[in-house]
Chain A
Amino acid sequence: MSFIAQNLACQRANQLIFEDVSFTLSAGEAIWVKGRNGAGKSSLLRICGRLLTPFRGHAEWQGKDIFKDYDGYVGQYHYLGHLDALKHAMTVRENVRFWASFHGTANVAMALEKFELQALADTPTGMLSQGQKKRTNLSRLVASPAKLWILDEPLSALDRHYITLFKERLLRHLDDGGMALFATHQDMELDRVKILDLDETAS
């Protein structure tokens, strides 16, 4: 069980943002992607989530190229980006249920409980605060299991209580043999986190 990235390079608007980014992620590991603004953190995560094609290099899941042999990779990972992917006219429960069952199996009630969202379950997401929206989105990760979590700024808009809560969830996920690849500006010190600094790899 591993995710391997080799010599990834990313090009946006005719310029290389980063190149020669390589890393290996095995079961139970997490990687924290660091770098200044514009270093390509989000782009790297989007490449790993198969939302962006790398300019050079390749990425493998279980030894198979994620861009060529997609069947083995689909459904094995969650991608959580800057945008909340919530429909404001639908309730918290409906949103989480849709994404979970679109992804695979759905255990919505448990997921809402884990992120203390039961009281808000039937509120339309349009009425939620930023932090509540983030939690709704995070509960997506738990509602249908996936080995790899790709998280872009998972902690923004969360207060300390929920940051702790999320860290616990993440550790549990890693304990269960999961993996995580994330970028955040907040402090995310965990014992099992490897750090990938894009500023160092950039030439």
Chain B
Amino acid sequence: MSRFIQLVGRDIRLAFRQGSAVTLSLSFFVIIVVLFPLGVGPELAVLARIGPGVLWVAALLSCLLTLDRMFQADFEDGSLDLLIIGPLPTEILVLAKVIAHWLTSVLPLIVIAPILGLSLNLPGDGIFALTLALLIGTPTLSLIGAMGAALTVGMRRGGVLLSLLVLPLYIPILIFGVAAVDAAIAQLTVVPHLFLLGGVSLGALVVGPLAAAAGLRLSLS
């Protein structure tokens, strides 16, 4: 257990020392959201209508942007070899990397999402539901993404392939996530949508580490 925490701690410390990872995905997230009003025009009604979708798609893409670094940095400097032969089972290792990725690359997006929601004219209920849905749904992005990152580790131009592998699998999260926010805006009950999101996240918690661990063993051998 202490090794698990050490590993998560190391990744978080590295992310903050190098800084670039956190700020990059955050700025990417903001700029995508900013592009939409510029593209579709500043009409508040239109923005409120597309807001939930825009925010979710932007979150998906920003998450994707940081995914390929999940194992790549450790692979390039040989750390991944040592981690794999260490005492942690590979599945647990993946879980530690996933938690670190979520905390450093996704959580900042969720923190800033309400402000962006305001700028897209989302009502208060919608913003609350958005934050909640992001909190419940985004772990899946890191978990499923870990599988893609593990399969493409060590590949030239693995990032493009990673997007093709992972994005179709993100579709349920996008649909349920946006549905939750839409329901909140329409003053309908949000809970069933959140349950669906939670269910997908739990499923990903099982499948993600298993598949990613298999992928890592393969990429290293």
Interface residues in chain A, defined as those with a beta carbon under 8 Å from any beta carbon in chain B: 49-53, 74-75, 79, 81-87, 89-90, 98-99, 101-104
Contact = CB atoms under 8 A, between A and B. Distances in A.
A74 B7 CA distance: 18
A51 B82 CA distance: 9
B77 A84 contact: yes
B34 to A, nearest CB: 30
Interface string B98-137: 0000000000000000000000000000000000000000
A102 B14 contact: no
Contact of B87 (A75, A82, A89, A90): A75
B3 A79 contact: no
B78 A50 contact: no
Interface residues of B, number: 22
A85 B14 contact: no
Given A49-B85, A50-B85, 18 more contacts: A49-B81, A51-B81, A74-B85, A75-B86, A83-B78, A84-B77, A85-B78, A85-B81, A85-B82, A86-B77, A87-B10, A87-B14, A89-B14, A90-B13, A98-B6, A101-B2, A102-B87, A104-B87
A98 to B, nearest CB: 6
Nearest to B18: A89
B17 interface: yes
Nearest to B2: A101
B220 interface: yes
A86 B78 CA distance: 8
A145 B145 CA distance: 36
Nearest to A104: B87
Contact of B79 (A52, A53, A87, A103): A87
